[in-house]
Each structure stands twice: as C-alpha cells, then as structure tokens.
Amino acid sequence: MIKSLVSFLFLLNACASENSAVKENRVNVETAFFEDINLFALEGVRKISLEQPLYPYVQIANINDTARSIIYHASGEVSYRRDYTKEKNYWSSSFSSNGDTCLITTYEYVTSNMIMTFHYCSNDNIKNAVLADVIILEGSTETFYDMGNEPDFKPDINAIDLVRKKSKSIFVKEITITNGILTIHERTINGREKKIDEQITRYKIGNHSYFWWRYFGWTLKK
C-alpha cells in the first residue's frame, strides 16, 4: 500500500507542470542555475550558464537570509517551484497537488542532515485533512511511514517518535551511488518489525545525486 502511494506521489510531483514555477523573477534577488542540488543545504551543485540551457536543471533564488526559492526545470514545458522559509535551525516549505481522489498537501522540513515530509489528504468526504504518510531522509537512508490516514496529527519536525509509534507499516530505502550507478535496497516492514518484502533496483544516473534522481529521474531514457 505505502509503496504504491509513494510511487504515485513522486510521479505526481515530478510530472506536474505548475504555472507558478515558470513565472519570471520580479524582484532583484541573487539567482543562479545548477546541474544538481544538495537539498540538505538547499544549495546548488555545479553552476551552469543559461545561454544554451540543457534540461533538466535547477534554479535557486536567495531572496534573503530567511527565504529561498528553488525551481526545478525538467523541460521547456515542465517546471515546478518550492519556496522555503528559515525557522531557527531548519527550513520549511508547504505546497499542494491535485491527486486522483484527494488534494495532497505537503509540509517539508529541512536540516543539514535530515528532510522530513508530511503528506495530508483531503476531499469532499474528508472534512479535515488526514495524514497519509511521512517520509524521513537521514543521510543515505529514506524511511516511509504509512500513517493510515491518521486524523488530528499536526506536522512538526519534532514529531519523529510519535510518527514511528503511530505508523501502520514502514518502507525503508538504503541508498548508495558507486561509479554513476544508483542502488536502492528496499525493504517493507509491518508494524511488528517483521521483514515482509525486499528488493534491489539500480539506475544509471552518472554524476548526479539522489536528490537529482528524486526530481528528475523520470526524465532518463529507458
């Protein structure tokens, strides 16, 4: 269940063309373009010139010390934007996407070694948004917690223990990149910590990062 939901969310975020993302910057801010990104630092990797843009690429605007805008340009037609605000020792962002059966609202918290993402679902039959899942990326381990549409759960960067306690099942990815090959070792665990599924997949991503693959991996030729 969680695996299919997560795959859907990634596909949704990757393929959705958001009109707000293609708007020109209308304020005088420091803007640069990069081949890749380090999301733990919200900083670009390998700066490029846009005289002849080569898709995909990342645009980062440092608006001020507490505001940063990142636009992911997948192609000339597909791009999408994430706006971050500095909150003490972490950055936060929120945005919404239209799913097949509900409106998905995402809350994301970023530190120097962790990214914590909450996905909420709401529609005409769900008056108050319910928590569908939580994704935590720490170092090279990404853990998906199936929350089973948990009601009355507020997004909070300090809620890790409560997320683990209330989760219905867990989906773990161990991530390694060697010689341009991204290897993802996946395993699914039920509420009793019993391994019930395991698989290994590999992708040729060259000198790109896992962050790049999360947003642009779907653009790779099969």
What percentage of the chain has pLDDT greater than the value 90? Answer: 58
Residue 191, SS3 per DSSP:
coil
pLDDT for the residue 198: 85
pLDDT for the residue 195: 61
pLDDT for the residue 178: 95
pLDDT for the residue 213: 94
Contacts of residue 49, defined as CB under 8 A and 6 or more positions apart, other chains included, come to 33
Provide the residue range defining the domain that includes 186: 2-219
pLDDT for the residue 1: 41
Which pLDDT tens digit goes with each residue over 11-59?
444 344 343 344 444 445 688 999 999 999 999 999 998 776 689 999 9
pLDDT for the residue 15: 42
Query: How many folded domains does the chain comprise?
Result: 1
Q: Which residues of the chain have pLDDT under 50?
A: 1-27
Q: What is the pTM of this model?
A: 0.82
